[in-house]
Chain A
Amino acid sequence: MSDAFLELQQVTVRLPISGELRTVLHDVSFRIAPGEAVGLVGESGSGKSMTARAVARLLPPGAESSGTVLFAGNDVAALKGAALRAFRAEVAVVFQDPRAHINPVRTIGDFMTEALRTNHDVSRADAAAKAVSLLAEVGIADGQRRLEQHPHELSGGLLQRVMIATALLTEPKLLLADEPTTALDVTTQSDVMAILDELRRERGMSMLFITHDLELAGAVCDRTAVMYAGQLVEERTSSALHDDPLHPYTAGLVGARPRIDGDVVRLSAIPGRPRSAFEAPAGCAFNDRCVHVVDDCVASRPALEPLDGGSVRCHRAVELRGRLQEGAAHG
């Protein structure tokens, strides 16, 4: 297919954990079209952040990976020199905790304009002017004053808006947003998400949006993929994923979250705890927590198969289709 802008083909990543190489991502494949927003949802250890790092070529030292990441048709692993720098300008990353990703002793202005001045030969004054105009776009009116401030003088919400403005300065074509609003208050989250969504649409930017919140992903993403134990277990349009989940784990996530409206019902908690890829049992990685488990699920690992316009990794997906939401409510 030629419409894929970012494409992951069977990406597997192993990391050195307590002295041995362990699998943290297993056989991850998906694609993002130009201008499309895709959500990546999962719990801790599911591999969602590691997927973004694999895309951005920011894997930790000692990581071993196989499979292919294609960006605009080029193999990301093979990029060198100028091509790699161009890739870095076209793929921007926004992380969860802005304070951990900004130098506390440099000014906001230094931080925002560094990439432009060093990699794009833009003069200091031009870079500052561009920074001020982007700060205005993310709702920070007094940009000139902010450029002279240090990170500790800004609140978390303000600082995250600075991070988003900075990410957009090099006019990227793909934004990797890793839990960008998780550390923020709920009203600030709404504000920051609205800004992110608006700027993304205006610029026709693609986005990989990583979150633990299925509802949040649904609000700003065309499609959502669910990860469990380092694997993609389901990937569909966001509304279908929420209303009619195909994988028991997706249904479990929907049923485990308390509702903001309607009657209070007992939550259908998924038994056990989330697994990392290297802790997952043989066969289906979810088989030790799944209420629908049968012998097949223990015997062999299901493949990610197309179903109902999306894809799902479950032996019983066809048989359980349409029954999971009901099961979630009563389970």
Chain B
Amino acid sequence: MADEPLLDVVALRKEFGAHVAVDDVSFQIAEGGSLAIVGESGSGKTTIAKMITGLLAPTSGTIRACGHDRSRPAKGAAERRRRGGEVQIVFQDPYSSLDPRQSGAAAIDEVLALHRGGSADERRDRVAELGALVGLDDRQLHALPRALSGGQRQRVAIARALAAEPRLLILDESVAALDVSIQAQVLNLLADVRAETGISYLLISHDLAVVRQITDDVIVMRNGQVVERGATREVLDAPQHEYTQLLRASVPAPGWTPTRRA
């Protein structure tokens, strides 16, 4: 049991009609690990996140998280709640993932009441603690999303996901829409939270520099298939597959010149 990975995905496949979005994908994340799935539009990376969180059912293959199978839809509210307590997700766009009529504190409290219980006072303390962890002050926690900046909203979304005390947090392009200076704050925050709580990350991203910053391992996907996998540093420093090499060569850096494909 102790040796079982936190997340174990085996031969995962998803078809939409005749289109195969995810084709025989397998990977594992150890307790406390951090894995990135890298790919461009249409590579199937977000479809995998949706299958792990239960928003889509796989065509075939298995998903095990925290020792429980989640390849099929949950049977009943109790199992759905248990799954929610194990894996949480932060989406790309904090403008559409928060309820516009609910303050951050209320959103976090709702998750606490559902997943952790406790008295109103205990929950209030925990909301303040989570707020402090992600760098939101009391005024920001009690403001409606429209009064917050994109970075502040994404902090609320992260605090809300952490409130369930999941063992795995899926970050689906969670920093892609943020300004550079705000993105740095959120990346530092994610590194701190992992160091403090031992949480695992599954980062879905197209941004190789972000991937290098917060993950240990990476799989590279193209057209639904895994084309390369390995330690993040090694894959980025010495990519083996020609597609990974193309991705790596396309990142603007000092001295970089754009190249025409054909």
Contacts and interface: CB of A to CB of B under 8 A. Distances in A.
A256 interface: yes
Interface stretch (B52-60, B87-95, B223-231, B248-256): B248-256
Which of A243, A260, A268 has the most B CB atoms < 10 Å from its CB? Answer: A260
Nearest to A44: B179
B250 A269 contact: no
Count chain B CB atoms within 10 A of each CB in A242, A253, A261 and give the residue with the most.
A261
Given A198-B260, A220-B258, A189 B250 contact: yes
A212 B261 CA distance: 24
A194 B258 contact: yes
B209 A258 contact: yes
Given A185-B206, A194-B259, A212 B180 contact: yes
Contact of B187 (A239, A243, A258, A274): A258
A191 B219 CA distance: 24
Given A193-B258, A257-B209, A43 B252 contact: no
A257 B184 CA distance: 7
B149 interface: yes
Interface string B228-254: 000000001100000000111111111
Contact of A243 (B188, B209, B250, B254): B254
B183 A259 contact: no
Interface in B180-228: 180-185, 187-188, 191, 206-210, 212-213
B252 A215 contact: yes
Say what secondary structure dominates the interface of chain A. helix
A218 B258 CA distance: 11
B40 interface: yes
B5 interface: no
A213 B183 CA distance: 13
B188 A266 contact: yes
A96 to B, nearest CB: 13
A224 to B, nearest CB: 12
Contact of A274 (B181, B236, B246, B257): B181
Interface residues on B, range: 35 or more
B262 interface: yes
Contact of A260 (B40, B152, B212, B262): B212
B235 to A, nearest CB: 12
Instruction: Determine the interface band of chain A, counting residues with CB < 8 A from chain B.
Output: 35 or more
A101 interface: no
B212 A258 contact: yes
A213 B254 CA distance: 12
Contacts of B184: 255-258, 267-270
A120 to B, nearest CB: 29
Nearest to A139: B262
Contacts of A255: 184
Contact of A219 (B185, B237, B257): B257
A256 B260 contact: no
A252 interface: yes
Nearest to B40: A185
B151 interface: yes
B210 to A, nearest CB: 6
A260 B248 CA distance: 9
Contact of A273 (B149, B213, B256): B149
Given A191-B260, A215-B254, A216-B252, 16 more contacts: A187-B247, A191-B258, A242-B254, A243-B254, A253-B180, A256-B180, A258-B184, A259-B209, A260-B236, A260-B248, A260-B251, A267-B184, A267-B188, A270-B181, A273-B151, A273-B182
21 contacts: A191-B259, A194-B258, A218-B252, A219-B252, A242-B254, A252-B181, A253-B180, A257-B184, A258-B209, A258-B212, A258-B213, A260-B253, A264-B212, A266-B191, A267-B213, A269-B181, A269-B188, A270-B181, A273-B149, A273-B179, A274-B179
Interface of B: 40-41, 149-152, 179-185, 187-188, 191, 206-210, 212-213, 236-237, 246-254, 256-262
